[in-house]
């Protein structure tokens, strides 16, 4: 039925502490079957807090922005299901799908399914900083409504029930509301169908066309009226409630149209979406209207897929598969190079820091030697000598025979920064193209009778593991003890 809510996580007692409390809560072993019901996207759930913090430091370095105490460091989503409809494992998979759709694959997130209540529910915590570390998620007015629409769409596609009118649950016990078994009225069925078709609409005219394709009869007069296929009477538009008035429907379409990931450049065909498995959809089996709409939706996606394949010159599935592999490898190589650049830039920053200390304490150490390592002089200049010793130990750990100059390091850093900016600026387009290829291949394989969901998830997991395996080590290297500079 998928009730959802969204809230921001603000700095409270320190960024690390605020993030740690939230991640620890959703990762509670008692609620997640000893950690088996935890998944993540573009991060390791065990060190997600550290990875989130690294991206925030990189964001501040790239943009120079720091909002201080007003900084939103992450967002928390909860999604609940009707008792008995899904298992904990299925809930986790649906939560992962919601996280991907809501963040559009642009933000790291950790998701976990909890089993401590009578109905499975999932939690998602996603990073406010994007994967490129050059922008933040911008919350918008009525984002909770938009989130509910995405959640409802996922449930509809998987044949799960949704709350038709969330406002009706106010003032009643939540368990009573979930346990209601009353049949839906014609008005509720019509509102349900309106919710299901609105996500694919660009304007009010296409909304009415989708309703007609789903079997709804429309009568025009002073007020538009609608009639279900098996109903005896028409229902006026203004009698459906303020959330389903013509003005409200137009507003919902507008809100959906301005969401960043749904913007379509003028003259560029909209990217195809994944086909709905109508044959195995419980919703389609129980709702002829939804079945008709889903078939129409699939026809549109097939047409979009064919246009995409023709425009990109793919004549057979083998060529498409090769293109997926090439695009996947290209994305992986770019991400790997970006991580290596970040690692080297971290090393350069550490080198500059220690070289600066080494140069500043040069005269102090020369005087220390001139006084034949006097204990009195050492106690008077203990901090400077300790800092110099730490810098020397760091140089020894790198095995440097000769220290580079600050000017050399600055030039290398600037060169790397220019290369990284080029890679980051093209990475988003590469990922979008890869996603289009994967969607097109998935639709083709589904049309040919292949089960591709598991295959796509396995490939994504392999890609994430490869990136983690080849990612550079932590920026702060462990220091080994060095001998006295005598």
Cα–Cα separations (whole angstroms), residue 387 to 353, 368, 433: 11, 14, 50
Residue 222 is given by DSSP the state: S
Q: Which among 414, 410, 427 is positioned nearest to 338, based on CA atoms?
A: 427
- pLDDT at res. 125: 92
- pLDDT at res. 109: 92
CATH pick for 1-182 out of 3.40.50.2000, 3.30.930.30, 3.30.70.2740, 3.90.420.10: 3.30.930.30
- What's the CA gap between 90 and 81, in Å, rounded? 11
Beta strands of 92-222 (E only): which ranges?
107-114, 121-130, 217-219
- pLDDT at res. 162: 77
Q: Are 437 and 274 in contact (CB under 8 A)?
A: no
Residue ranges of domains in the chain: 1-182, 317-470
Q: Are 155 and 142 in contact (CB under 8 A)?
A: no
Residue 127 is given by DSSP the state: E
- pLDDT at res. 456: 55
Reading the block at residue 142, the tokens are 């009525």
On whether the pTM is more than 0.75, the answer is no
Q: What is the pLDDT along the chain (486 residues), one digit of tens a residue?
A: 455 556 666 554 566 677 777 888 888 888 888 888 998 888 888 888 888 888 888 888 888 887 766 678 888 898 888 777 888 888 898 999 899 989 888 899 999 998 877 777 899 999 989 988 888 888 877 788 888 888 888 887 777 777 765 554 444 444 444 444 456 678 878 887 787 777 667 788 888 887 887 778 888 877 888 888 778 888 888 788 767 778 778 777 765 543 333 333 334 446 788 788 777 777 777 777 777 877 888 888 888 888 888 888 888 778 888 888 888 888 888 888 988 998 888 888 888 888 888 888 888 888 888 888 888 888 888 888 888 888 888 888 888 778 888 888 888 888 888 888 888 888 888 888 888 888 888 888 878 766 545 555 666 666 666 666 655 554 443 343 334 443
Q: Are 127 and 40 in contact (CB under 8 A)?
A: no
- pLDDT at res. 259: 36
- What's the CA gap between 447 and 470, in Å, rounded? 36
- What's the CA gap between 443 and 273, in Å, rounded? 8
Residue 103, burial from CB neighbour count under 10 angstroms (0-12, 13-18, 19+): buried
CB-CB neighbours of 107 under 10 Å: 25
């Amino acid at each position: 039925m998928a009730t959802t809510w969204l809230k921001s996580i603000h700095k409270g007692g320190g960024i690390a502490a605020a993030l740690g409390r939230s991640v620890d809560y959703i990762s509670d072993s008692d609620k997640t079957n000893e950690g088996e019901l935890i998944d993540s996207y573009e991060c390791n759930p065990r060190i997600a807090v550290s990875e989130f913090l690294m991206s925030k430091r990189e964001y501040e370095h790239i943009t120079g922005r720091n909002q201080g105490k007003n900084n939103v460091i992450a967002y928390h989503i909860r999604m609940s299901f009707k008792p008995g409809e899904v298992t904990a494992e299925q809930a986790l998979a649906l939560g992962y799908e919601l996280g991907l759709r809501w963040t559009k694959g642009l933000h790291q997130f950790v998701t976990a399914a909890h089993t401590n209540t009578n109905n499975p529910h999932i939690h998602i915590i996603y990073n406010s900083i994007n994967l490129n570390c050059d922008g933040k998620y911008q919350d918008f007015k009525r984002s909770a409504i938009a989130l509910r629409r995405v959640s409802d769409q996922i449930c509809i596609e998987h044949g799960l029930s949704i709350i038709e009118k969330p406002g009706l649950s106010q003032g009643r016990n939540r368990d009573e509301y979930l346990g209601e078994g009353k049949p839906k009225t014609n008005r509720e069925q019509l509102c349900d169908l309106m919710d299901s078709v609105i996500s694919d609409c660009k304007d009010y005219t296409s909304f009415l066309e989708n309703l007609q394709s789903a079997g709804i009869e429309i009568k025009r007069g002073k007020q538009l009226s609608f009639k279900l296929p098996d109903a005896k009477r028409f229902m006026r538009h203004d009698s459906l409630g303020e959330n389903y008035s013509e003005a409200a429907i137009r507003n919902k379409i507008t809100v959906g149209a301005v969401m960043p990931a749904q913007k379509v450049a003028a003259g560029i065909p909209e990217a195809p979406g994944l086909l709905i498995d109508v044959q195995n959809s419980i919703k389609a089996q129980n709702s002829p209207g939804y079945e008709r709409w889903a078939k129409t939706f699939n026809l549109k996606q097939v047409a979009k897929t064919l246009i995409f394949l023709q425009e990109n010159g793919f004549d057979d599935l083998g060529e498409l598969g090769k293109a997926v592999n090439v695009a996947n490898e290209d994305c992986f190589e770019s991400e790997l190079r970006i991580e290596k650049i970040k690692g080297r830039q971290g090393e350069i920053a550490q080198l500059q820091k220690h070289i600066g200390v080494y140069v500043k304490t040069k005269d102090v150490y020369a005087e220390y030697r001139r006084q034949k390592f006097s204990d009195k002089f050492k106690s008077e200049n203990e901090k400077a000598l300790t800092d110099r010793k730490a810098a020397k130990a760091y140089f020894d750990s790198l095995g440097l025979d000769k220290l580079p100059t600050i000017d050399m390091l600055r030039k290398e850093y600037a060169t790397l920064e220019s290369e990284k900016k080029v890679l980051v600026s093209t990475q988003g387009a590469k990922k979008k193209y890869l996603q289009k290829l994967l969607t097109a291949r998935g639709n083709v394989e589904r049309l040919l009778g292949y089960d591709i969901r598991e295959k796509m998830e396995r490939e994504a997991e392999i890609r994430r593991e490869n990136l983690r395996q080849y990612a550079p080590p932590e920026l702060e290297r462990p220091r080994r003890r060095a001998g006295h500079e005598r």
